């Protein structure tokens, strides 16, 4: 059996609240290329300060100069996160085989029937990461899938399958970050599919930031939303968004469900109390997740991402799925920190790249073929 590789996965998600870094030991556990042993050695979350959060938020609709500058700034931030993690783990840079960095998504344009190949931009300069750490860096995972006609997202389904497949069981591996996405893990890889569902925390976070004038960025435990009541006319109007009716494969981002979306809501429903608005938006996330996953009849929904820490959202999901005999559980019950899950998955994707194995699932992304993912920057 092969020796393990020690890889650091890096993830900065659509919530742009910080970067998660995880040291993961991975080795083959069989001859199929899909069976691996995965062990998480250490995890670190580095929160962004307000200045950096604001810079990233501005870059979503920013100038070329802003994005160009932020690309190198984030490269430095990511590199420092890696160095801190290595030090905390008592390791040296020579002990790490590679860094697998998703980067920070700035803009994402999915393919459509009118536009065969989409486009996407993730920043956090890999040359800076490789130079500062002295470690081979794999980055820009989405673009190769998109070049093959895919959405470039979600990219974690193969890793989800490798981690959570179980004989004769259907599992929905749900990540609730800024955007919610799901992998429907079935016994057979060819039957596994994944897609972006829609807003996760993005609308809730944006509303909290607007109401607090930038002083607060999220609804802690969903306490504010729990104190309110959903405004049903608004909820019903939001549930009519055409993205929710679009069949997979599909992908989205903050350019659709972000600041401008919330500002439009407040323009027409600004008289709603803050608690009622947040209750409405939290119910929206729960309902679109339930509607998207229900047709696949999973026996279990495994939740990761920041949304798994929102007790009110988790209660709403439990209420809905319980009626269908489906259990909802945090990924923590499987020994993984919810915030670390996507960093772990990108470490696995980096491992597959180093092994020269395709890592996209065309059934999930819509790509015309399986492809190797990522670009390699040598130190």
What average pLDDT does range 360-374 have in this prediction? 93
pLDDT tens-place string over residues 201-259: 999 999 999 999 989 999 999 999 999 999 999 999 999 999 999 999 899 998 899 99
Residue located via tokens 């829609």: 198
Kindly state the average pLDDT of the residues 257-272: 95
Q: What is the pLDDT of residue 14?
A: 80
Domains of the chain: 5-152+340-377 (3.30.420.40), 157-334 (3.30.420.40)
Q: In this predicted structure, what is the pLDDT of residue 1?
A: 42
Query: What is the per-residue pLDDT for 115?
Result: 74
The reported pLDDT for the residue numbered 371 is: 96
Q: What is the pLDDT of residues 74-129, one digit of tens each?
A: 999 999 999 999 999 999 999 999 999 999 999 999 898 777 788 999 999 999 99
Whole-angstrom distance, CA of residue 142 vs CA of residue 105: 10
Residue 2 has a pLDDT of: 59
Which pTM does this prediction carry?
A: 0.89
What is the pLDDT at residue 363?
87
């Amino acid at each position: 059996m092969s020796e393990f590789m020690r890889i650091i996965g890096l993830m900065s998600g659509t919530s742009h609240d910080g970067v998660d870094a995880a040291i993961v030991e991975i080795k083959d556990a069989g001859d199929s290329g899909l069976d691996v042993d995965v062990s998480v050695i250490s995890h670190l979350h580095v929160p962004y300060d307000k200045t950096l959060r604001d810079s990233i938020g501005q870059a979503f609709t920013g100038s070329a100069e802003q994005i160009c500058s932020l690309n190198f700034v984030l490269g430095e931030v990511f590199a420092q996160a890696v160095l801190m993690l290595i030090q905390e783990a008592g390791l040296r840079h020579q002990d790490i085989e590679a860094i697998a960095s998703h980067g920070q998504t700035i803009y994402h344009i999915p393919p459509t029937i009118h536009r065969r190949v989409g486009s996407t931009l993730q920043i956090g300069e890999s040359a800076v990461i490789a130079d500062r750490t002295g470690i081979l860096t794999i980055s820009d995972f989405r673009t190769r899938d998109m070049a093959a006609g895919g959405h470039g997202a979600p990219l974690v389904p193969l890793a989800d399958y490798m981690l959570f497949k179980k004989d004769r069981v259907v599992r929905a591996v749900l990540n609730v970050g800024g955007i919610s996405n799901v992998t429907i893990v079935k016994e057979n890889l060819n039957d596994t599919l994944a897609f972006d569902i829609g807003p996760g925390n993005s609308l809730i976070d944006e509303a909290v930031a607007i109401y607090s004038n930038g002083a607060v960025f999220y609804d802690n435990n969903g306490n504010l939303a729990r104190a309110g009541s959903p405004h049903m006319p608004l909820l019903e109007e939001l549930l009519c968004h055409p993205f929710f009716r679009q069949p997979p494969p599909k992908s989205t981002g903050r350019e659709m469900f972000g600041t401008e979306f919330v500002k439009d809501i407040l323009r027409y429903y600004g008289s709603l109390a803050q608690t009622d608005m947040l209750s409405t938006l939290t119910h929206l996330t729960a309902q679109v997740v339930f509607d998207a996953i229900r047709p696949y009849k999973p026996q279990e929904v495994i939740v990761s991402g920041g949304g798994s820490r929102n007790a009110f959202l988790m209660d709403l999901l439990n209420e809905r799925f319980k009626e269908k005999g489906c259990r909802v559980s945090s990924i923590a019950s499987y020994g993984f920190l919810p915030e670390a899950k996507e960093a772990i998955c990108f470490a696995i994707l980096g491992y597959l790249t180093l092994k020269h194995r395709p890592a996209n699932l065309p059934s999930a992304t819509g790509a015309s073929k399986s492809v190797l993912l990522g670009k390699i920057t040598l130190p």
